[in-house]
Every structure is written in C-alpha cells, then in structure tokens.
Amino acid sequence: MHDLYGENHEISGKYDESLAVKCHNGIFLGKKNGNILSWKGIPFAKPPIGNLRWKAPVPLPKSNAVRTAYYFGPSCVQTKIFSEQASLYHQSEDCLYLNVWVNESDTSINKPVMVFIHGGSYGWGGTSDPLYEGTNLVSEFPDIILVTIAYRIGIYGFMDFSSVEGGEQYPDSCNAGLLDQIEALKWVKKNIKAFGGNPNNITVFGESAGGGSVSILPVMPLAKGLFNRVIAESGSIALTFSKDECQNLTEMLLYESGRSKMSELIDISETELSEINLALNESNNFPMRDGRIVPEDLYDAYRKGEASDIAMITGTNADESRYWIGELGGIQQYLLQSPVLYENMYAMLSSTDKKRLDKFMALKTDKKVWNETEFYTEILFRIPSTKQAELHSLAGGKTWVYYWTYPSAIEYYKACHAVELAYVFNNLDERIYTGDNINPDLAKRVQKMWVNFARTGNPSITNYIWPEYNLPDRSVMYIGELQGIVNDPLSEERKLLEPVLKYGFNGSYSNLNYNVPHIRKAVGQTIFLLAATAGIVVGSVLLIKKFLKGNK
C-alpha cells in the first residue's frame, strides 16, 4: 500500500516513545522523515455520524489509548474533481481529523503555531491535498509548528433545517463546518504544547473558503481566545449566505432524498446520503449569517471592533476569476458562459449602480470578456477584502493587505485564484495552478512574510518593510516579480464598485437567474442555466458557485 494511504488504528504493547505525543484524547504515534516529525489523522471530535449527524461537534473524552497517526483522515464526502486533489482521497462522513508537522532540529519550546484551513467553496477539499503537505514549510522554518484541520463541507456542514419538521433539534446544522473548525482550534489550544507549540501564539490561515473562514472566525463569539492572528488569502466575509439563500439547498435535499422531516433524514444511511450528495454537490451553501453563531451583518461586526484584538493579513490575486477557465472546462466554455453571468449580475443593479459598472468597464481596454472577468475579481474578491481590511483598521485592529501579481504559466490564467498556494507551503513541485513558471526567490519572500507574521505579528522582512493598512494611505504590498508598497491601488475601481457590495454577490445562483431560461425540477431543486447561443446546458454552480470555489 502506498505510504500516503492507510488507516490509523489503536495498538497495544511496546511502541517507539520518541514518536509518541500524549494528548488529552490519547497517545499518538507519528512518523519521522529526516528531521521532520508528522502526526496525521489525529481525531479532534467524535465522529459526526449516526445521531451526531448535523449536530455541533462533540469533544473527545480523555483517553490513554495508543493510536497510530500515520495517515490523513478521510476527506468529507464530495464530488470527485481533479482540481480538488483531496476529493480523490478516501471519503467518509467520519472526517474530523487534523495533522501536525514539527521540525525536531529546533528543540525550543513554545514555538509559534500556524493552523491552516483548506478551501473548496465549502463543498470540496481536504487536508490530504499535496499542496498543503507541511514537510517543506517546517523544513525551511524549523521554529514553526504547522497544523492542518478538516471540517464538514457540503450538505454535511452547511444545511439549514429550521423549516423542516424536527429541525429545531438541529439548530447548529447551518454552520456545523465552522463549529468543527472551532473544535479543532480548541484541540490545538489544549494539546499543542505537547508538540512544543505555544498555545498563546496561534495564527490561523486559509485560502478561498479557508480565507472566508478565517475572516468569519474573528467575529464569532464561540471562537474568542482561540487564536491571535489570521491570514485570509482570497477569501472574506462576503463568502456567506443569508437564511433565505440557504433554503434552496434544503428543498433540494428533501426532494432528492424523498424525505420530509428530520427523523427520516437522520436515518438515511451514509451510503445513500453520499449518493444524494453527489447529486447536490454543485449547490453547496456557504456559512449562514444566522445571527447566533455567525453575525447577521459581518461588515458591521468588523465596524464595531468585534475582531479588533486579532491581527490580520488579508489579500487577493490580481486575476482571481481566471481560475474558473479551467473549472468550466476550458477557454471556449468560459467565453460562452461569462457574458451570461455578467448579464445576470448587471440585471440586479439599480440604474445608478449600472452607471457605476458602465464607468468601471469603460476604464478597461481589453476584450469585453476579460473586462467582465476583472469585474468578477473585483466584486467577489478584492473589494470585499479591502472593505474588511478598512473596517478592521478603523476599529483599531492591526491590518496588512497584499495584492498578488505573479502569474501562472498556464495559458490565460495569469495571477489566478490559488496560484500562491504552492509558494506559501513551499511545495513548488505541485504545479496544478502555477504551471512551470516557478520563482523560488518569490517563494522564500512570501514564506518569510507569513512566518514572521506568525512569529511576531508583523509581516515585514529584510528589504521589504510592510506598513499597516490605514486610511488615508491604504498601503498595499504588491507580491510578485516587482515587489513593494503601493498606496491605494486601483482606487478608482474601488470607489466605483464599493457601493455594489450591498447586493451581496457571493456565489448564490438563485439570486442571479434573471432573464435566462431555466428548468426547475419540483420546487426548484435542480437549476440549470441555458446558454441559448451555444445550445449547451451549464450547471448552475459551474457558472457562479465555482466562482468562489475555494480550495483554490
């Protein structure tokens, strides 16, 4: 069996104590590769199966059992897709596991801890993705401990059952995935000292849906005190749903399953639910602004300073939306579908805001489809991220903003969504998004910035002083071939499009089905967009939900 795949298990008798770490829920045996020790597949909560399905995660009791920690835990159930490499790993509803990497050449105690939350549009991804393998990062920075955590995704992690008979018994289902992240952070806080980490120096970072997660966590009351800093890559508080937006998936699940109440849903076998998930996985919910677990108005929460005790780096890539050229099947499909998406978004705007968008488009000189693509990047990524940074800074939170400009070598991709991940993790041989246009010097720079932020709360490094983001300067670190500070970049675009944030563009196709023929099965369970000019059928999420697909 390949070393990457296998099942951890409890053991008895003698074991190598040099590879063992005593945690509150057991003794875990890791593996050694040179100076690097790794523990994979450590459980941080009870398996969310049976009667625990759609419930908040349940902490694990104390234990002295000895278990191997050689292999990643299963990925949460999801549609298999090449761009989400963890989807090709073993999948299970039992998926709440984390992984730890330590460089034993640094014997100091109280090491800074970096905890990574994967992306994937809250419906894909997992910790087994080779992009997130931690060996190279802790090899380069031996004073850092790296942790990667899993969480429930798709219909397992973000379902609102408040409208379903018996749903009152599942009040946390709409944000179970976020609660999983919090439970994992509690585990880290309680146990990381045993690995040599400092429980009072924890930086949480993530990309896409992971970037959205680490943007939401600072204003969640349940997450208070669990971390000190966050790095939000290509994700912000905009990647959330209202209660109304979440209802479509609830209706789809009821229709697809043939059930009508919670007592029936909870009895669905894991096998059947996995099959149902495959039919619905293109229609994932994002975290719900329920007003209890997650604030209803996340911008206002930042405005009020509810995250002001957390230091934050946030940023986006110059060409985020070009990532979906690959997700939609290639350049020809993208060229057909982009105008339909743009038409739908444009139709929602008031006459005043349409004029704003017209002015934005007039600033651009490229072909219309690439101007549309810049609009998607601005309104779905950069503008929300910039607004989040502005509000955080005004409320007294230490804030830094970056703008990634170094391109992929893949045709048309440029500086697309996810292109920075291989650089951040020092996994430069993982070229699924970068192509062969690798810049090792850039990798060293960005890693030093991220790690220095985790160490000290300041991302500045030798030769690159990175000032905090504040008004009126709005200093932004450009990260690319040419690197340095630019004050208030793309300011005209920001001023034109910031008022458009009120429309809440976030990936919910149900808000964008204006003036396009569509088919609904039953009460709207299966939504398809007909691209009439091409005579093809385009899956709803492949048009916009994947515009926010988060692992990358």
Catalytic center residues: 208, 320, 417
CA distance 170 to 193: 34
Angstrom distance (rounded) from CA 63 to CA 329: 49
- What CA–CA distance (Å, rounded) separates 296 from 448? 36
Amino acid at 525: Q
Question: Beta partners for 68?
Answer: 29
Is the omega angle on the peptide bond into residue 472 within 30 degrees of 0, that is, cis? yes
How far apart CA 398 and CA 46 sit, in angstroms, is: 36
Instruction: Kindly state the tokens that stand for 480.
Output: 């690319």
Nearest-angstrom CA–CA distance, 376 and 381? 8
Cα distance between residue 359 and residue 342, in whole Å? 15
Which two tokens mark 250?
């609830």
Phi-psi region of 225 (alpha: psi -120 to 50; beta: other; left: phi over 0): left
d(CA 326, CA 409): 13
The two three-digit tokens of residue 371, written as one number:
């101007």
Check if the beta carbon of residue 417 is closer than 8 Å to that of residue 119.
no
- 257 C-beta neighbours (distance < 10 Å), count: 18
Q: How far apart (Å, rounded) are the C-alpha atoms in residues 312 and 300?
A: 17
Other Cβ atoms closer than 10 A to 470: 14
3-state secondary structure of 509: helix
E strands in 154-253 = 197-207, 229-233
Strands 20-23, 26-29: pairing kind: antiparallel
Quick one: which H or E segment has residue 357? helix 351-363
